[in-house]
Amino acid sequence: MLNLPPYASPLERLWRVALILLCAMVLLYLISPIIAIMPLSFNSEPYFTYPMPGLSMRWYEDFFTDPRWLDALKSSLIIAISATALSMVLGTLAALGLAKANFPYRAWVMAFLISPMIVPVVITAVGMYFFFANLGLNNTYFGIILAHTALATPFVVITVTATLIGFDQSLNRAGASLGAPPLTVFRKITLPLILPGMISGALFAFITSFDEVVVVLFIASPDQRTLPRQMFSGIREQISPTITAAATMLVLTAAAMLVTVELLRRRSERLRGIRS
Amino acid sequence: MKKQMMIKGSVAALVAAGVLATAAYASGSLTVVSWGGAYQEAQRNTIFKPYADKTGAAVKEEEYTGEIAKIRAMVESGTVSWDVISVDTPTALQGCDEGVLEELDYSRIVDKSKILPGAALDCAIGSDVYATIFAYNTTKFQEGPKTIADFFDLEKFPGKRGMQKNPMNNLEWALIADGVEKDKVYEVLGTPEGVDRAFAKLDTIKSQVVWWEAGAQPPQWLADGEVVMSTAWNGRIANAIKEGAPLQIVWDAQAPDLDMWAIAKGTPNIDAAYDFIAFASTPEVQSALAPSIPYGPTHLDAVALVEPELAKTLPTHPDNLALAYPFSAEFWGDNMEELRARLNTWLAQ
Amino acid sequence: MSVTTFDLVQSSLKARLRRAERMQRLRAGLLVLPLFLFVLLVFLVPIVILMTRAVDNPEIADNLPRTIEALAEWDGTDLPGEPVFAAFAEDLRETQKTKNTGLVGKRLNYEISGARSKSLQAGRAAEKMESGPYKEAFLALDPLWGKTETWSAIKRAGSPTTSFYLLKAVDLQWSPAGEIEQVPPDQRLFVDIFIRTLGISTLVTLATLLLGFPLAYILATLPPRHSNILLIFVLLPFWTSLLVRTTAWVVVLQTEGPINNLLLWLGLTDEPLQLIFSRFGTVVAMTHIQLPFTLLPIYSVMKTISPSYVRAARSLGAGPFRAFWTVYFPQTVPGIAAGCLLTFILCLGYYITPALVGGPSDQMISYFVALYTNRELNWGQASALGAVLLCATLILYAVYNRLVGIDKMKLG
């Protein structure tokens, strides 16, 4: 576990132990707040404090019977799935274009396409709120989907671009010179190689939209109230432990996505021969 | 080829998104906006659900914390998604002045003469009488605070206080605690020196104040021990006590005011909005609210229906009313914007 | 002759190659075009609109046109004459009808504290004024209308564009004499908030580096089967909704929450500490959220550092700490720069976490952009603050692009 070279001195060993202890505490700091709220979702009483007087499933029942939570879940899914689909198409196309040799002003174009990820989301949200008001897009699903697509596409561009780094363009040329039409080349050669990146990108895009609350705060009406928006007002306005139930389910979803992305990344690296 | 496929794909995605969007948008239902927490729950059980059952119309609920700005932003940007809004009296007056609330046609609601004097305004009709009071956690003191001056006394009653992030009531209380007589409050507050004096008094407890925005926060904070005392709306505290929280209401210098129904200007659902308000203003519906949360009715026939035992817990009971200061909605209708901007600057400094 | 044929073949080949290359570029451009246009329309245009709002100034110009016209002649030394007051009365009667008196008053109130309620009062009075002299009527109504500063403020606020909001965003204003000066101390706010935003961002960045660097080092030097498991601990929070993590901190930091319970139980404190609604809570929660962003770039750089360098240094006689400091550490600097810069940039725009975990004196600039948009409805001020924040972000983004390169950005 210490993983030290044989020539390490006792002082060095001591340092290493101290370092490992420090890291254990950092890991605890990272994970404990997330773990701490999970049991609270099974609390029989409506408080957020330990120790819990008893266990019950009432907050989960609440979640799945309260139309406000269910509507929020539905809105979130509609928006996140549409935004993901849209950003997949736009992002993958752009990443393929950017991967071509000597793309003019590549760094600047890339910086521009990624900028929605960098610009403070409040600025984006307020700007969209003013702009969409003129177009009648505030308080519509369509407006939120457009906004979330803008915020989510950078993730697709980045992940697909990453899988294209080290992608040997001569593979495509070889396919074409053997007589395959472009679509076949794409389907048989490019797609399998970038697919892991696309799926990771899709998951990132999905979770970006699914978690987004600031833009929704500004441009959505009660009809498009999303899950994070419902949680936000839950913490600020109407405090109920159903939030911890929703949070627990979201953590489990995140864990599932994380595992998927990790498996895909390894598969992609293996396919491209980066790591055996 | 592949490009074409992709383009086709993106067009299909756009169209699909558009179809989804319009489908969801077309399902227009009446949106009623209120103050969240125990109050909205009481309204849900005694007004929203009975109304939905009776008419078959879906009532979509939203919560807010009383910001007129949200209403005005919607009206000004032409995207009105709120239909019926529960407002306090200053907001009703200001909203009417600024043209963001519909002027009400009382012939579509109720006989105006049957409503408490002062509760039937041009743009809003009173739904119930509530009060802003302060309350404390009884486990934190052997002998609890009795007057508003005690609220500002950190020596006698140490601990965090909750206050609403709003100048209304807080400035009056600061002046009363500083020795201004209850009926002279607005004389003093109407001058720049008076405002300075109120902020100076607030300065003395600033470090110990936690600011709330939603009415559900004070009872929760009091019960959780986050604060030892807090300003609050009386019904929220009364309901928390009913659920077993060790809290006590102090009626000294209470500020009684009205919750009112108003209609956002330019709503596409104006007929449904009138229908809803007319339903909510019937004496039967009004008198059902008080047993769920101790706010008094405004319809004179409903006032008579309130049980005497329950009446004692209402802000309008003579014993409680005697302690009130003469809250002026007109003062706040004119001065809210300025004083709120000042409070926000003061808070952030 | 054969030479010419060769030349011909060569030049046509060159031309064909060039054409092929052009075609390829064109195709690449076409692939990028849809997203480019999309970002332009849905993202850039709204931001440009926001920026123009920072100098837009329609309230007085639109609603008091006659007054502004009458004031054009006025030199600003003495109180304006009857024509200005008559125009003012007529404008106010109009705004009473359009219900815009409040808007006019609100705009004037930015320049003169207390002007909103006085304007509403003047509007109501103007409705009742049948005929002149209007000057006397207004002077009798309130001393505000008898001050030359009031009228120079109205004149200044009447131009269709203004530098008012941008100046105010850095606590400056035009003095009545027409010079730029600091706003009075009780209104100074935004410089402090920018400093606060930078301070919190710096603190969080340092904290993520201090906690992230050792962890990245351990992860990079452990055998993969161990480090992969530990990496999950870093990545799970990264994938968990920001709101869920913020909720978690709200719960954990409560006055009677788990941390205070533990501290009381251990006897480290006699009474619960104020952790939530505090600067401490804000920094702890933000550090938790940003830690993976700092750690991951450092980790991926460390993974590429071959252990043989340190081994060589050791075999040449360097002690363990010297070998680390002079051989290993310098190689991690690109990772540190990338991670810290990204975290710092993202911190500048934080809104949700401070809003839920912090107190009023822990709010950062984004909070005020939202406050002025939603609550104060002072869109000019919101836009001006947004403009300053955007500039700061873009400058740092350009630095990031230069130092790190945007295509090096990695996720997960």
Check whether residue B97 and residue B208 sit in a common domain. Answer: no
Residue spans per domain, chain C = 1-53, 58-158, 190-408
Query: Rounded distance, CA B256 to CA B182, Å?
Result: 13
Query: Does pLDDT of C11 surpass 80?
Result: no
- In 3D, which of C296, C345, C387 has the Cα closest to residue A123? C387
Tens-level pLDDT at each residue, chain A (276 residues): 456 677 677 888 898 899 999 999 999 999 999 988 888 889 887 776 667 788 999 999 999 998 889 999 999 999 999 999 999 999 999 999 998 877 888 888 999 999 999 999 999 999 999 999 889 898 899 999 999 999 999 999 999 988 887 677 788 888 888 888 888 888 888 888 888 889 989 999 999 999 999 999 999 988 899 999 999 888 876 667 888 899 999 999 899 988 888 888 777 777 766 543
Check whether residue B303 and residue B188 sit in a common domain. Answer: no
Check whether residue B50 and residue B84 sit in a common domain. Answer: yes
Residue contact B224–C254, C-beta within 8 A: yes
- How high is the pLDDT of residue B26? 37
- How high is the pLDDT of residue B25? 39
- How high is the pLDDT of residue A19? 92
Answer whether C174's CB lies under 8 Å from C147's CB: no
**C-alpha pair distances (Å), B173 with each of B88, B179, B257, B324:** 18, 10, 15, 11
Residue contact C254–B69, C-beta within 8 A: no
Check whether residue B244 and residue B125 sit in a common domain. Answer: no
Q: Which chains touch B (3 or more CB pairs under 8 A)?
A: A, C
- How high is the pLDDT of residue B97? 86
Answer whether C87's CB lies under 8 Å from C135's CB: no
Answer whether A57's CB lies under 8 Å from A39's CB: no
Identity of the residue in B6, B61, B79 whose CB atom sits nearest the CB atom of A138: B79
Contacts of C218 in chain A (CB under 8 A): 19-20, 23
From the candidates C24, C240, C253, which should be mutated to test the interface with A, based on the most A CB atoms within 10 A?
Answer: C240
Residue contact A27–C369, C-beta within 8 A: no
How many percent of chain A have pLDDT more than 90? 50
Answer whether B259's CB lies under 8 Å from B151's CB: no
Query: Rounded distance, CA C204 to CA C197, Å?
Result: 11
Query: Rounded distance, CA B106 to CA C242, Å?
Result: 48
Nearest residue on chain C to A262, alpha-carbon basis: C412
Query: What would the pLDDT profile of B12-56 be if each residue is shown by its tens digit?
Result: 544 444 444 443 333 458 999 999 889 999 999 999 999 999 998
In a domain, B279, yes or no: yes
How many percent of chain B have pLDDT more than 70? 92
Identity of the residue in C272, C277, C376 whose CB atom sits nearest the CB atom of B210: C277
Q: Which range of residues forms the domain containing residue B279?
A: 29-129+258-319
Contacts of B16 in chain A (CB under 8 A): 82, 85
Identity of the residue in B3, B97, B334 whose CB atom sits nearest the CB atom of C30: B3
**Contact with chain B for residue A139, Cβ under 8 A:** yes
Angle between helices A242-271 and A227-236 (to 10 degrees): 140
Residue contact B334–C256, C-beta within 8 A: no
**C-alpha pair distances (Å), B166 with each of B322, B346, C188:** 25, 12, 20
Distance from CA of A191 to the nearest CA of C (A): 15
Sorted by where each starts, the structural domains of chain A and their CATH numbers stand as 59-271 (1.10.3720.10)
Q: Which chains touch A (3 or more CB pairs under 8 A)?
A: B, C
In a domain, B297, yes or no: yes
- Cβ burial of B155 (10 Å; 0-12, 13-18, 19+) is exposed
Contacts of C311 in chain A (CB under 8 A): 5
Nearest residue on chain C to A107, alpha-carbon basis: C406
**Contact with chain B for residue C109, Cβ under 8 A:** yes
Nearest residue on chain B to C187, alpha-carbon basis: B345
User: In CATH, what number is assigned to the domain containing residue B57?
Assistant: 3.40.190.10
Identity of the residue in A50, A204, A231 whose CB atom sits nearest the CB atom of C411: A204
Query: What would the pLDDT profile of B257-281 be if each residue is shown by its tens digit?
Result: 999 999 999 999 999 999 999 999 9
Nearest residue on chain B to A225, alpha-carbon basis: B62
Output the average pLDDT for chain C: 90
Query: Does pLDDT of B79 surpass 70?
Result: yes
Residue contact C374–B69, C-beta within 8 A: yes
In a domain, B210, yes or no: yes
In a domain, B121, yes or no: yes
Q: How many Cβ atoms are within 10 Å of C342's Cβ, its own excluded?
A: 22
Contacts of A26 in chain C (CB under 8 A): 211-212, 214-215, 291
Nearest residue on chain B to A93, alpha-carbon basis: B6
Nearest residue on chain A to B76, alpha-carbon basis: A133
Identity of the residue in C99, C256, C373 whose CB atom sits nearest the CB atom of B97: C99
* Mean local confidence (pLDDT), B199-219: 94
- Tell me what ipTM this predicted complex has: 0.91
Check whether residue B166 and residue B208 sit in a common domain. Answer: yes
Query: Does pLDDT of B93 surpass 70?
Result: yes
Check whether residue B193 and residue B329 sit in a common domain. Answer: yes
**Rg of the Cα atoms in chain A:** 23
Bridge partners of residue B133, in order along the sequence: B232
Check whether residue B46 and residue B120 sit in a common domain. Answer: yes
Residue contact C256–B225, C-beta within 8 A: yes
Check whether residue B157 and residue B237 sit in a common domain. Answer: yes
Query: What would the pLDDT profile of C83-103 be if each residue is shown by its tens digit?
Result: 999 999 999 999 999 889 989
Q: Which chains touch C (3 or more CB pairs under 8 A)?
A: A, B
In a domain, B10, yes or no: no
**Contact with chain C for residue B14, Cβ under 8 A:** no
- How high is the pLDDT of residue B24? 39
Beta sheet of B161-164, edge-to-edge order: B59-63, B30-34, B84-88, B247-263, B124-137, B229-233, B161-164, B209-212
* Mean local confidence (pLDDT), B278-300: 95
Contacts of C222 in chain A (CB under 8 A): 3
Nearest residue on chain A to C295, alpha-carbon basis: A26
Nearest residue on chain B to A81, alpha-carbon basis: B17
**Contact with chain B for residue A76, Cβ under 8 A:** no
Residue contact B81–A139, C-beta within 8 A: yes
What confidence tier does B243 reach under pLDDT thresholds 50, 70, 90?
Answer: confident
Contacts of B9 in chain A (CB under 8 A): 89
Per DSSP, the residues of A205-260 read HHHHHHH--HHHHHH--GGG--HHHHHHHHHHTS--THHHHHHHHHHHHHHHHHHH
Check whether residue B122 and residue B48 sit in a common domain. Answer: yes
Contacts of B79 in chain A (CB under 8 A): 133, 136, 138-139, 221
From the candidates B7, B20, B22, which should be mutated to test the interface with A, based on the most A CB atoms within 10 A?
Answer: B20
Contacts of C246 in chain A (CB under 8 A): 235
Question: Hey, what are C214's tokens?
Answer: 């050792």
Distance from CA of C207 to the nearest CA of A (A): 11
From the candidates B4, B5, B79, which should be mutated to test the interface with A, based on the most A CB atoms within 10 A?
Answer: B79
Cβ within 8 Å of residue B295, ≥6 positions away: B39, B128, B129, B130, B234, B235, B259, B289, B314, B315
Residue contact C233–A27, C-beta within 8 A: yes
- How high is the pLDDT of residue A222? 82
- How high is the pLDDT of residue B19? 45
**C-alpha pair distances (Å), C330 with each of B200, C205, C333, C342:** 55, 19, 5, 19
Query: Does pLDDT of C294 surpass 50?
Result: yes
Residue contact A138–B77, C-beta within 8 A: yes
Answer whether A143's CB lies under 8 Å from C46's CB: no
Q: In this structure, which amino acid lies at residue A117?
A: M
Angle (CA) C400-C402-C406 rounded to 5° is: 60
Residue with tokens 């308000």: B277
Considering only the top CATH level, what class is C190-408?
Answer: mainly alpha
**Contact with chain C for residue B205, Cβ under 8 A:** no
DSSP H or E segment with residue B257: strand B247-263
- How high is the pLDDT of residue C238? 85
Query: Rounded distance, CA A144 to CA C362, Å?
Result: 30
* Mean local confidence (pLDDT), C331-343: 94
Identity of the residue in B2, B14, B217 whose CB atom sits nearest the CB atom of A182: B2
**Contact with chain B for residue A45, Cβ under 8 A:** no
- How high is the pLDDT of residue C410? 62
β-strands B124-137, B59-63 pairing: unpaired
In a domain, B11, yes or no: no
- How high is the pLDDT of residue C342? 93
Query: What would the pLDDT profile of C249-271 be if each residue is shown by its tens digit?
Result: 988 898 878 888 889 889 988 88
Check whether residue B97 and residue B117 sit in a common domain. Answer: yes
Query: What would the pLDDT profile of B100-138 be if each residue is shown by its tens digit?
Result: 999 999 999 999 999 998 899 999 999 999 999 999 999
Identity of the residue in A221, A225, A237 whose CB atom sits nearest the CB atom of B36: A237
- How high is the pLDDT of residue C344? 97
- How high is the pLDDT of residue C21? 85
Identity of the residue in B7, B338, B347 whose CB atom sits nearest the CB atom of C117: B338
* DSSP code of residue B128: E
Question: Hey, what are B173's tokens?
Answer: 């209380």
Structural domain tally of chain B?
A: 2
Residue contact A165–C407, C-beta within 8 A: yes
Q: In this structure, which amino acid lies at residue C349?
A: G
Query: Rounded distance, CA B73 to CA B125, Å?
Result: 22
Distance from CA of A111 to the nearest CA of B (A): 23
Check whether residue B210 and residue B154 sit in a common domain. Answer: yes
Contacts of C116 in chain B (CB under 8 A): 334-335, 337-338
* Mean local confidence (pLDDT), B163-167: 95
* Mean local confidence (pLDDT), B62-70: 87
